[in-house]
Structure 1
Amino acid sequence: MPPLEHLPDAVGGIATRALYKRIGDFLFAQAMAPTPANYALAYAVLTDPAGDLAKSIAARTDGGVRLSQRDLDELGLRAERAAAAGQDAEPDKVELLAARAQSQMDGFTDVVVRMHSHTRDFGRELIASADAIERSRVEQGSSRLFVDDVARITSAMIGRVREAEHQLEDARHEAEELRQALEEARGDALSDPLTGLPNRRAFEQAFAERLAAGRNPCVAVCDVDHFKAVNDRFGHAVGDRVLRAVAATLADACPDHLVARHGGEEFAVLFDGDLAQAIAAIDVARATMARRRLRVRESDELIGTVTFSTGISASNHAERLEQVFERADALLYAAKAAGRDRIFSDAETAI
C-alpha cells in the first residue's frame, strides 16, 4: 500500500487520496496529458466503473491498446455530458428525499393538530351529550323519545370515534413513510456503492458505539496485495470486480462482525471477540482468497492469485479509533514488508 494514501487529507481522507492516485495512474497508462478535460474523463470512468463510458473505454483498450486522440475527443465529450448529468441528478436525489421527508413531517404535524382539535371538541360533545341524556331521562322517563335520543347521541359519538380512528391511522401511515425515507437516507450515507459493505463512516460509528458500551473491540486493516498491477493490466472494471470478490470473502468469513470498505483497496473489520478469534477469522478469509483463481469474465483470461495482507490490533479501555487503527496500519505495513499474504497482530507474529 503506497504511503501517499496515508498522508493527512482535509478533503476526503484515504479514499480521496486513492482516487487521486487512480486518476493519475489512468492518465499515465493512456499517455494522456493532465488537462482538465482528461481529468474529467478519468474521473467519470473511475467513479462509475459500471457505466457506459467505462465499458466503452474497456472495449477500446482491450488487449493493452491505448486510446487514440479521436477516442479521447469522443469520450471526453461523453464524459462532460455524464458529469453534467451526474451533477444534476445526484443533488436532485438528495433534495427529493429531503423534500419528501419534510412534506411527510408537515403532513404528520397537520394530522396531530387536527387530532388535538377533534379530541378537544369530542370531549366537549361528550359532556354535552351526557347532559342531554340526563335531561331527556328526567323529562321523558323511559319513553320512546328518550330511547331515540340516546340512540341518536350514541350514533354521533360512534361516528366521531371512527373519524378519530381514521385520523390516527393516517398519522401512523405518515410516520411509517417518514421513518422509511429517513432510513433510506441513512442507509445511503453509510454504505459503499461498489461492494455493498458498510463504509468508513459506518465503521467509525460502530466503533464509537462499542466504546460507549464499555467494550474493547479488535480492529483489522486488510489491503489487497499488488492491486495496482491488477488495475494496470486488466483495467479498473476488473479491479472493481476483484474488490467485490475480496469484500464477499471477508464478509463470509466474518459473519458476526462488521466488515467495511475503508477506502480504495483497503478494508477494515471490527471484531467483538478477542484477538485470537479475530486472527482466526481473517486467516480463513486470507486462505480462501489465496486459493481462488480469478479470471476476466469477458475473455476468460487468468488474473491469477489475489491475496491481501492484514494488521490486527486490540483496543484498550477508552482508546480512540485513531490510535487502534494506527497500530493496525503499522502492522499491515510490516505484513507487506515481510512478503504479503499474511497477518501481523499485536503479538508481532506472522501467519
Structure 2
Amino acid sequence: MQSDHAAKVMAFLERHRLPPSPQNYTLAYIALNDAGSPMGRAVEAIIAEGYRIKQDEADEIFDRHGGIAIFGSQERNDGELTAHLRHQAIKLGELASSAADATGAFARELSEEAGAFSGDSSNTLSIVARMIEQSLDTQTRLTAAMDEVKALREELEAARHDAQRDELTGLANRRAIDGYLGELAAKGEPRIIALCDIDHFKSVNDRYGHNVGDRVIKLVADTLDDACSPHFVGRWGGEEFIVVIPSGEAAAAVKLLDFARSELADKEFKLRETDEPMGLISFSGGVALATGGAEANAASLRQADQALYRAKAAGRNCILCA
C-alpha cells in the first residue's frame, strides 16, 4: 500500500514538472490523500481546470498552511533511507573483516600444525586430516561471505537503478535527465533536445480513465524508445517526454522524431475490455539545438517547449524545429 501511495505521489510530481524534493513530496501526498484539508483545497483550486501547479505556487501553499511542521517528518523519512544505506555499508565491512579473520586464523593453524609433524605416519595423517577439515570450513565461510557481499551489491545497484527510472515507463526520470544533460553541458558538446507531448491526452483520461491513460503513456514511451534508440529518451513529466541526441544536426533529429511519430500513428490501440478501437494516438514535438554549458540546456528547453506548442497550434501530430 505504501509503494502505491509513493507511485501516485511521484506521478503527480512528474505531471506537474515539480522536482521530488521532500517538501514537494509532502505537498503532493496531502493533495492526493487529504483533498479536504486547507493545503489540499489550495492545490485543487489551481489544478482543477487542468493547469499545472508551478513551484512558486507550491512553495506559497506549503508555507501558508503550516507545511514546515510536516516537512520535519518527511526529513526523518529521508534519514531512515540514509541510515539503511549506512547499515548496508557497515555490513559489507563486517563481512570483509570476517573473511579476513577466517583466512588469518587458518594460516596460524597451519603454522602450528606444521610444527607438530613427526616421523609417525599415523600422527601425520591425523594432522593432514585436520588441516583438510579446517580448509573446507574456511572455504565454506568465505564462499558464504562472498555470496552475501554479491547479494548486497546487487541490492544497492538495483536501488540506484530504480532511483533513476520512471516507474510506469521504465524510461529515465527527471533526476536521470538532469544528470545526463549536465554531463553533456560539462563536455560543451552540441546536443539536440526534443520535447514530445501526447495529443489530446486529457480527453483520453476523461473518457477512458487513468488506467487506459497509463497504457497510452506506456505505448508512446515504448515507441519513442524503440524508434530513437540508441539515443537518450526520458519521461519529462505526465504525458511529456524528452529525447536528447548528442549532435548538432537539428534537421536529422526532426526526421528521427517524425519517424517515431509515424510509427506510433500506424499502431492500432484498442480497449482491452471491449476491443473497441480508440482511434489515432499521436504526439507533437519541438526540437532545439543546445551549444555551451548549463545555460544552453535551459534556453534550449524553453525553445523546444515553444516549438512544441507551435506544433500543437498547427494541428498536432507533427514535429517542428525552434
Q: TM-score, normalised by structure 1?
A: 0.61
Given the alignment of the two structures, is residue 184 of structure 1 paired with residue 158 of structure 2, yes or no?
A: yes
Equivalent residue number for residue 285 of structure 1? 260
CA separation in 2, counterparts of 1:201 and 1:169? Answer: 37
CA separation in 2, counterparts of 1:176 and 1:265? Answer: 38
CA separation in 1, counterparts of 2:215 and 2:18? Answer: 27
Q: 1:241 to 1:10 in 2, by over 3 A?
A: closer
Equivalent residue number for residue 173 of structure 2? 199
> Secondary structure of 1:195's partner?
coil
Question: CA contact under 8 A between 2:95 and 2:149: conserved in structure 1?
Answer: no
Question: CA contact under 8 A between 1:335 and 1:344: conserved in structure 2?
Answer: yes
Equivalent residue number for residue 79 of structure 1? none
Equivalent residue number for residue 283 of structure 2? 308
Q: CA deviation at 1:302?
A: 4.2
Given the alignment of the two structures, is residue 268 of structure 1 paired with residue 252 of structure 2, yes or no?
A: no
Q: Pick from 135, 141, 164 the counterpart of residue 138 of structure 2.
A: 164
One-letter identity of the residue aligned with 2:206 = D
Q: 1:299 to 1:111 in 2, by over 3 A?
A: closer
Equivalent residue number for residue 106 of structure 2? 122
> Secondary structure of 1:223's partner?
strand
- What are the equivalent positions in structure 2 for 1:24-103 lying under 5 Å apart? 35-36=36-37
How much identity, in percent, do the aligned residues show? 37
CA separation in 2, counterparts of 1:201 and 1:132? Answer: 64
Given the alignment of the two structures, is residue 335 of structure 1 paired with residue 311 of structure 2, yes or no?
A: yes
Question: CA contact under 8 A between 1:104 and 1:175: conserved in structure 2?
Answer: no
Question: CA contact under 8 A between 2:184 and 2:191: conserved in structure 1?
Answer: yes
Q: CA deviation at 1:284?
A: 0.8
Question: CA contact under 8 A between 2:106 and 2:138: conserved in structure 1?
Answer: no
Equivalent residue number for residue 151 of structure 1? 125
One-letter identity of the residue aligned with 2:110 = L
Equivalent residue number for residue 88 of structure 1? none
> Secondary structure of 1:298's partner?
coil
CA separation in 1, counterparts of 2:163 and 2:268? Answer: 34
One-letter identity of the residue aligned with 1:116 = A
Q: CA deviation at 1:287?
A: 1.4
> Secondary structure of 2:281's partner?
coil
Question: CA contact under 8 A between 1:97 and 1:181: conserved in structure 2?
Answer: no
Q: CA deviation at 1:286?
A: 0.9
Question: CA contact under 8 A between 1:107 and 1:174: conserved in structure 2?
Answer: no
Runs of 5+ consecutive residues of structure 2 not aligned to the other structure: 1-13, 45-75
CA separation in 2, counterparts of 1:241 and 1:312? Answer: 25
Worse overlay, 330-339 or 169-178:
330-339
One-letter identity of the residue aligned with 2:305 = D
> Secondary structure of 2:278's partner?
strand
CA separation in 2, counterparts of 1:103 and 1:287? Answer: 50
Q: CA deviation at 1:173?
A: 0.7
- What are the equivalent positions in structure 2 for 1:106-121 lying under 5 Å apart? 107-121=91-105
- The CA deviation string for residues 178-237 of structure 1, in whole angstroms up to 9 with x for no partner, is 122213322332222222322222222233344456654322110112222322333333
Question: CA contact under 8 A between 1:104 and 1:174: conserved in structure 2?
Answer: no
CA separation in 2, counterparts of 1:222 and 1:183? Answer: 30
Q: 1:122 to 1:322 in 2, by over 3 A?
A: same
Q: 1:8 to 1:248 in 2, by over 3 A?
A: closer
Runs of 5+ consecutive residues of structure 1 not aligned to the other structure: 24-33, 44-90, 137-142
Q: TM-score, normalised by structure 2?
A: 0.66
Q: CA deviation at 1:328?
A: 1.9
Q: Pick from 269, 273, 292 the counterpart of residue 294 of structure 1.
A: 269
Question: CA contact under 8 A between 2:16 and 2:237: conserved in structure 1?
Answer: no
Given the alignment of the two structures, is residue 322 of structure 1 paired with residue 298 of structure 2, yes or no?
A: yes
CA separation in 2, counterparts of 1:215 and 1:163? Answer: 56
Question: CA contact under 8 A between 2:190 and 2:246: conserved in structure 1?
Answer: yes
- The CA deviation string for residues 312-342 of structure 1, in whole angstroms up to 9 with x for no partner, is 2233243454343223222222322333222
Question: CA contact under 8 A between 1:105 and 1:178: conserved in structure 2?
Answer: no
Question: Paired residues, what number?
Answer: 266
